[in-house]
Amino acid sequence: MYWYDYFLYMLPAYLLVLIVRISLNATISKYSNVGSKLSGFASANLVLRSAGINDVAICQIKGNLTDNYDPSSNMISLSDPVFGKNSIAAVGIAAHEAGHAIQYYENYGPAKLRQAAVKICNIGSSLAIPLIFLGAILSFEALQIAGIVCFMLVVAFQLITLPVEFNASKRAVKILSASGELTAEEIKGVKRVLTAAAMTYVGALAVSAMQLLYYVARIRRR
């Protein structure tokens, strides 16, 4: 009965995530086939240089959509389909990661807060579900409450992540638009790629928020 109730409660959130994932894959696929004179590497480099940043390394890594900026190493890692690819999708993804680098360079508050909260969030993520389930099995409400508090940290982290992601895209688009390297139609394509990518974070937050509400509702029914 527990899993049946859980499935029905979470179904709308999971459907949202599925729709978002399908939309992202379709958007990336479409704009990976739309050419650009800029490669992913050139796009990230352009955004960084335009912001006056010259000490961020840009490297190539394996995988698909594994692109990231690591503030601890001050390095942008671009996946194989992005690094050397001359496409609108590659330009958008790479520029977005460069946008993250600019956030740290300019001490953007939410980005710093998210970075500081990573370790706490990881602890909360690893403890939340075990505590909630162990508390339910043992009928020990204090354990369940502890698990819910840990899960709240996860939701809070995802909530902080949203403005960080949207802001990085906004910075990237602004610089790309001002550079004159892309046409208005190409900029529109970049925006669509970045919006589709950002919606994955919205979907993840929706799932976590619904899970949190479900756990709270269950403990209140006891």
Closest CA to 34 of 91, 107, 108: 91
d(CA 67, CA 40): 11
Q: Is 218 helix (H, G, I), strand (E, B) or coil?
A: helix
Which of 146, 142, 139, 99 is CA-nearest to residue 124?
146
Instruction: Please tell me the distance from the alpha carbon of residue 99 to that of residue 105, in angstroms, as a whole number.
Output: 10
Residue with tokens 């609108």: 88
- With H, G, I as helix, E, B as strand and everything else as coil, classify residue 107: coil
- The β-bridge partners of 57 are 75
The verdict on whether 141 is a catalytic residue reads no
Helix axes 141-179, 88-105, angle to 10 degrees: 110
User: Which entry of 97, 106, 141, 186 is annotated as an active-site residue?
Assistant: 97
Contact of 164 with 107, CB cutoff 8 Å: no
Kindly list the catalytic residues: 97
